Amino acid sequence: MFDITILQSLVGKTVRLYRGESESRRGILLAVKTDYLELLTEDSQIIYCYLPPLTSVEEDFGYPSFKIKKGIPQEVVEANIFQQLLGLLVNQRVRIDQIGDDYHTGLIRFVGTDYVVLQTNKETFIYYQSSEIRSISKLERSLDHCKEDGDDHKKIGTTSPLDQFLDAPSFASSLAALRYTFVRIHLAHHETISGILTQADQNQVVLVHNKEVIWISRAMIVSVTTTTDDVFPVANEKALQQGNREIVRLRLKKHGKHKRKTITPAPPIVRANPNGSTNPKRNTTKKVTIKVKGTSNRRGK
């Protein structure tokens, strides 16, 4: 964790904020809060950077020197902690940044105790875990000027959650309320998994996609998207080849007279894919194959 006293000594100076080795932001440090920083960029944007994801903050002595290239600096939104800041941005148009170049723009519709709901267009809502937001900045257009962004949408009631948004108190309770809804779950390192959300608790969620049952650790989830557009690009197979996380696929097959299962400790993602007849003969058993990325394959016999 950063020493707040040292950070406060950099207020008013040109700094560079690093998230990892190559990802950085440059600007004038305006203020240091309990868990976030206020940064003024050269295009007059005020960026609110969440402190925990930052790896370092350095004074920038580089050339060229900092100067405002366009526009008038925005009015700063003042808060004590990051979650309180998010609450002050409800019904405002914002940009939310994730890891790397991933970001979304839209209207903040609701802020819970540990998450925020972003409406990106009339029929799409993104539920972000607050701890996974790297930074947020306010855009010029607000709710009063965004009819095309769906400002007539109300909270979820008796209609489908696909075209409404939830105002559950916490991220866990919002996932529980989205049961039996088609969702897209975004994980770190650009991984995306789509399916019907059938179960959610404090530790994991369960998706069903085609003939697969997928268990996902809640700690891996960056955000969850709901939409009335059911034509999602399915990235489940591609996701197995991306990122540096362990992806575990569990398949069930008919084989031999005995059933043997080999499970790695607490895999972050598990997939179950039953093949063949759904009503096997009495003496037919199933074979379980588990593949863990980065390790040798082990097969039941």
Q: What mean pLDDT do residues 27-51 have?
A: 94
Stated pTM of the model: 0.71
Give the tens place of pLDDT for each residue, 126-141.
Answer: 999 999 999 999 997 5
The pLDDT tens digits for 141-162 are 544 444 444 444 444 333 444 4
Backbone phi, then psi, for 163, in 5-degree steps?
-120, 20
pLDDT in tens, 210-245: 888 999 988 889 999 987 655 444 444 444 433 333
Between the two ends of the chain, the Cα-to-Cα distance in Å is 49
DSSP state of 1: -
**Comparing C-alpha atoms, which of 188, 224, 232 is closest to residue 205?**
224
Cα–Cα distance, 60 to 142 (Å, whole number): 33
Residue 112 in this model has a pLDDT that exceeds 60: yes
Q: Residue ranges of the domains in the chain?
A: 4-112, 113-141+165-232
Helix boundaries (H) for 166-288: 171-177, 236-239
| Topology of the domain comprising 4-112 | SH3 type barrels. (2.30.30)
Residue 114 CA: distances (Å) to CA of 80, 96, 132, 202, 204: 16, 15, 10, 13, 16
Query: What is the reported pLDDT for 229?
Result: 55
Polymer length in residues for the chain: 301
Look at the block and give the residue holding tokens 């875990």.
Answer: 129
The overall average pLDDT reported for the chain is 75
Is 289's pLDDT higher than 60? no
Helix (H) or strand (E) holding 300: none
Q: Do the domains at 4-112 and 113-141+165-232 have one common CATH topology?
A: yes
The residues, any chain, with a CB within 8 Å of residue 290's CB and separated by 6 or more, are: 248, 249, 250, 261, 262, 263, 264, 297, 298
Q: Given pLDDT bands bounded at 50, 70 and 90, which one contains residue 273? A: low
Per-residue pLDDT, 152: 42
Query: What percentage of the chain carries pLDDT values higher than 70?
Result: 65
What is the C-alpha separation between 295 and 300, in angstroms, rounded? 16
Please state, in angstroms and rounded to a whole number, the distance separating the CA atoms of residues 53 and 24. Answer: 12
In angstroms, rounded to a whole number, what is the distance separating the alpha carbons of residues 181 and 298? Answer: 34
- How many C-alpha atoms does 153 have within 13 Å on its Cβ side? 33
CATH topology of domain 113-141+165-232: SH3 type barrels. (2.30.30)
pLDDT, residue 83, reads: 96
264 pLDDT more than 70: no
In whole angstroms, what is the distance from residue 177 CA to residue 107 CA? 21
